Structure 1
C-alpha cells in the first residue's frame, strides 16, 4: 500500500536527472551531483532526502565489472506459468539464491528471471529445480555470453 508521501510524490526533470546520475554512480558526492545538475548542494540533499523518504529511491548499490566473477554463468530464463499460479511460482523462485532478479511480463512468457550459477553443473541443477516448481509450464533459457555497451 502506498504511503501518503508516495501518493503525493511527483517527479520533475531535476528528480529524473538526479536519479539518472545516481544510477550511473550511486556513490557520487553531493558536490559532484550539484555541479552536474547545475544546482546547490543543499538542493541535491533536499531532493535526495525527499526521494528516499517517499520510497522513490529504495537504496544504493554497486555494479561490478562483467568479468569480476569469473567462473560465473549468467542467464535469462523466460517462464510460462499455468493458470493463476504466478504468485506461488514467484514465492518459490524468490527462495532460490541463484535467482538474482525476477520480473513479471506480458506476451508469451509470464516471468523473466536473471540467474547466476558458479558452474555448468550448478546451472543445469538450477534449471531442473525451476522447471520442477509446481505451476511452471514451460521455459526458455539463454546464457548471457558478454555485455556490450553503446
Structure 2
C-alpha cells in the first residue's frame, strides 16, 4: 500500500523527474532522508519502476497505434512467441490474455499503409496462426497511474 506521503512523493517526481531529493524534501516539508527512504522502499516494492524519459511513438514518427489479438501455434509456447515478436521494434507491448486469442500486442506504425508491413512482420515470425487488429482512432485517456496512487493512498475514495 501507499500512504498520502508516498502519493505526494510520487506525484512530485512524476511532474518533475529531474527534481533532486533535497528539493523535493523542501517542497514536501519533510526530511531529505525520509524522502530518500520512501523512494527506496517504493522502488524495492516495484511501485516505482524507473526514472527515464517518457517517449512518444508519435513524436518518433509512428502516429498509428493498433492492438492485435494473436492466436499462436500452441506448440511454440508464449515465451518463444514473445522472443520472436521482440525482434519487431514496432511491437511496444505484449500480454497473455484469456479468451479466444492467446496474446494481445500493442503495435505502432508510420501510417495505415505501414501498419500492413508491421502486421506482416508479426506473421512472418512464424509463431502466429491468425490475428485480429483494431486501429486506435483517438486516445481519450493516455496511459496513467497517478489516479491509482491517489486512490490507494485514500485521496480518491468517497
For the criterion TM > 0.5, the same-fold answer is yes
**2:91 matches 1:99:** yes
Matches within 5 A, 1:51-130: 51-52=42-43, 54=44, 56=46, 57-63=48-54, 68=59, 72-84=63-75, 85-130=77-122
Inter-partner Cα distance in structure 1 for 2:112 and 2:62: 9
Secondary structure of 1:141's counterpart equals strand
| Structure 1 position 26, deviation (Å) | 6.1
Q: Is the 8 A contact 2:68 2:107 kept in 1?
A: yes
Task: Say whether the 8 Å CA contact 1:66–1:147 is kept in structure 2.
Answer: no
Among candidates 13, 17, 26, match of residue 27 of structure 1: 17
* Pair 14,111 (structure 1): closer, same or farther in 2 beyond 3 Å: farther
Shift of residue 112 of structure 1? 1.3
Task: Report the Cα offset of residue 148 of structure 1.
Answer: 0.9
- Residue of structure 1 in register with 2:150 after alignment: none
Q: Which blocks of at least 5 consecutive residues in structure 1 are unaligned?
A: 1-10
Alpha-carbon distance change, 71 to 59 in structure 1, aligned in 2, over 3 angstroms: closer
Change in CA separation of 1:50 and 1:124 when aligned onto 2, cut-off 3 Å: same
8 Å CA contact retained: 1:78, 1:113: yes
Equivalent pairs, count: 138
TM-score, normalised to structure 1, is: 0.69
Higher relative contact order (CA 8 A, sep 6+): 2
Instruction: Please provide the CA RMSD for this pair.
Output: 3.3
